[in-house]
Amino acid sequence: MCGIVGYVGKRDAVPLLVEGLRRLEYRGYDSAGVAVQNGRGLELRKCAGKIANLERLIDESPVGGNIGIAHTRWATHGAPNQTNAHPHTDCKQEVALVHNGIIENNDVLRAKLTELGHVFSTDTDTEVLAHLIEETFRGNLEQAVAAALTQIEGTFGLAVMSQGDPGKIVVARRSAPLLLGVGENGDRAMWVASDVAAILGHTRQVIYLEDDEIAILKEGEYETLDLKSIGSPGGLQRIEKEISRVAWDLERIERAGYPHFMLKEIHEQPNTVRDATRGRLLEEEGTARLGGLAEISEQIDRAERIILTACGTSWHAALIGEYLIEEFARIPVEVEYASELRYRNPVIPPNTLVGGISQSGETADTLAAIREAQSRGAATFGIVNVVGSTIARETHAGVYTHAGPEIGVASTKAFVAQVTALALFGLMLARRRGLSILEGRELVKAISGLPAQMEEALSSEDHIREIAAEFQDARNFLYLGRGPNFPIALEGALKLKEISYIHAEGYPAAEMKHGPIALIDEEMPVVFLAPKDSVYSKVVLNIEEVKTRGGRVIAIVTNGDTELAKKVDHLIRVPKTHPLLQPILNAVPLQLLAYHIAVLRGCHVDQPRNLAKSVTVE
């Protein structure tokens, strides 16, 4: 999704801004641009495509200045071309701005401004903001921005500069992430970014802006104001904000020697489970301690129903959560796509807990679903990776997944961390509702054993690469599993289509006979999740049905399986754990299979086409 970075200080802003944009590349984008202010006025450079194109442009036509804003765009209104790339300007080229989010009343405003004589040069919704600011400008930029924003319906993370009020960047947010960076060790630089990764190389001191806050950045100073106070007698009211210190460092964000972030992140997963469980497993008591849920402890004990809501891979984690929580704690769980929940008239009776699961903590649909649930009186919690993100802040309580930054657009370790957190949550609920201490201890032991088992699962990589080579030209794939491994079939199929562009579908194995079986022939590889569990023999029957029809089968089995070796084309072994934790281990070979097929097909694994890491628009 779109990225913003801005700088004001002593140094030349351009290389710093371009470096910041590079740190945001992982979010997915289709064009990029930068604007600086200097003695010659506002100067812009922007282009379609990758940041390398922008660098080339700047090389050919150098530009500099010690205050500037930059953007990576992911098109929503208007094609991804140079014209529509941010920054955008007003008629007189006196205002330059970058924007994340959507201006919903764009059409109305554009018509009104055109009538007033403004000439538009792009197809974007953002451009109306530049013209609105031009209209409202009376010599003070923050006043003009605040006045312009009163006319906006929609969402924004915004950074603006103006020739009429030079030397400052004015920033504002509503439902799009934005933070300020404050220079360290005597550096008087000030930063703004949509994601901390953009500025982490320079400072760890950040201020997270909340919705309806506006800030003014100048060299060596900043001021945060309440956007809603516009028009009040004393003008925009100041608000005091705390400076937080970011614990993640840049090295963790870099590839650590792996060819792709995705592969690095897959290999990090044993540590992901360790980090997600650290300090949370109580061996003696046979339970989990999740301090972030203390706020809603009473509601947890009263809960008669849980709704889990999420998008994409996080939705798959939620589905596994349903199996885990229902089986361990016997509380009914419903899983709903956030995009569906937000526009329904959902039944949320008293004593319902609503949990939003999100890696980024910024997904627009998940956030909206959480807000909808809150407006209906539900206690909400987040299972979120990014600390300080909007969902983490807006939910009543939560569990951080502690997976660290996930850069590959296709989620891997964040998913494993989410399922691990859900297992801890299920265990904690179960113990508070009568699961015996002995059963609790068994689960604690099983969860503690996962990291080592995951190392073992990862050791099959060479074998999986060989299988990938055999299937790299397949045009379709089917993934089948049952019980808690059904969501893993969905996730395996999603991973493959996201990064290799091969069409793939996931199904509950027994549903195959109600449709997908018609597709089976020697051209259709079928991946089966077939761990030795209570439905193993049923899955074996499904495998036989596929083999009889000439299908080629790759089976993920648990160690010690001797039966399937004779029946399938390829066998991938994973260690055996508790049946409800097995999905965590089974995810690993499917991630590796998708990864190696994509690499062999020459695909851009870390930044697949058309996808964004964090979808902050509908």
Active site residues: 2, 613
Indicate the residue among 265 and 561 with the shorter CB distance to ligand G6P.
Answer: 265
Q: How far apart are CA 262 and CA 5, in angstroms?
A: 24
To ligand G6P, the closest distance from the beta carbon of 282 in angstroms equals: 28
Coil vs helix vs strand at 192: strand
Scored b (16 or more CB within 10 A) or e, 148-160 reads: bbebbebbbbbbb
Indicate the residue among 282 and 611 with the shorter CB distance to ligand G6P.
Answer: 611
Answer for the pair 550, 522: CB distance below 8 angstroms, yes or no: yes
To ligand G6P, the closest distance from the beta carbon of 220 in angstroms equals: 35
Q: How far apart are CA 397 and CA 521, in angstroms?
A: 49
Indicate the residue among 506 and 579 with the shorter CB distance to ligand G6P.
Answer: 506
To ligand G6P, the closest distance from the beta carbon of 368 in angstroms equals: 12
Indicate the residue among 73 and 573 with the shorter CB distance to ligand G6P.
Answer: 73
Q: What is the DSSP string of 50-110?
A: -HHHHHHHHHHS----SEEEEEEE--SSS-SSTTTSSPEE-TTS-EEEEEES-BTTHHHHH
The order of strands in the sheet holding 221-226 is 88-89, 95-100, 156-162, 169-174, 213-218, 221-226, 237-238
Q: Which residue has the CB atom at the shortest distance from ligand G6P?
A: 312
Identify the burial level of 347 via C-beta atoms within 10 angstroms of its C-beta, where 0-12 means exposed, 13-18 middle and 19 or more buried: exposed
Which residues is 7 bridged to in the sheet?
68, 191
To ligand G6P, the closest distance from the beta carbon of 366 in angstroms equals: 5
Crossing angle of the two packed helices 312-329 and 486-500, in degrees rounded to 10: 170
Indicate the residue among 122 and 389 with the shorter CB distance to ligand G6P.
Answer: 389
Q: Which among 130, 139, 104, 171 is positioned nearest to 44, based on CA atoms?
A: 130
To ligand G6P, the closest distance from the beta carbon of 397 in angstroms equals: 18
Q: How far apart are CA 603 and CA 289, in angstroms?
A: 42
To ligand G6P, the closest distance from the beta carbon of 411 in angstroms equals: 4
Indicate the residue among 13 and 338 with the shorter CB distance to ligand G6P.
Answer: 338
**Chain mean position to CA 568:** 36
The position carrying tokens 């885990």 is 324
To ligand G6P, the closest distance from the beta carbon of 374 in angstroms equals: 17
Q: Which among 397, 554, 393, 413 is positioned nearest to 481, based on CA atoms?
A: 554
The position carrying tokens 């960047």 is 169
Indicate the residue among 277 and 314 with the shorter CB distance to ligand G6P.
Answer: 314
Please give the structure tokens belonging to residue 612: 């964004």
Those residues with Cβ within 8 angstroms of residue 591's Cβ, 6 or more apart along the chain or in another chain: 262, 266, 412, 495
Please give the structure tokens belonging to residue 315: 């939705």
Answer for the pair 57, 34: CB distance below 8 angstroms, yes or no: no
Q: How far apart are CA 539 and CA 479, in angstroms?
A: 12
C-alpha Rg value of the chain to the nearest Å: 26
Footprint on this chain of ligand G6P (rule: CB under 6 A):
311-314, 358-360, 363, 366, 409-411, 611-615
To ligand G6P, the closest distance from the beta carbon of 365 in angstroms equals: 8
Indicate the residue among 520 and 615 with the shorter CB distance to ligand G6P.
Answer: 615
Scored b (16 or more CB within 10 A) or e, 507-526 reads: bbbeebeeebbeebeeebbb
Indicate the residue among 84 and 411 with the shorter CB distance to ligand G6P.
Answer: 411
To ligand G6P, the closest distance from the beta carbon of 410 in angstroms equals: 6
Q: How far apart are CA 489 and CA 427, in angstroms?
A: 24
Please give the structure tokens belonging to residue 480: 């089948």
Q: Which among 446, 401, 457, 409 is positioned nearest to 592, based on CA atoms?
A: 457
To ligand G6P, the closest distance from the beta carbon of 386 in angstroms equals: 8
Query: Which is it for strands 476-481 and 525-530: parallel, antiparallel or unpaired?
Result: parallel
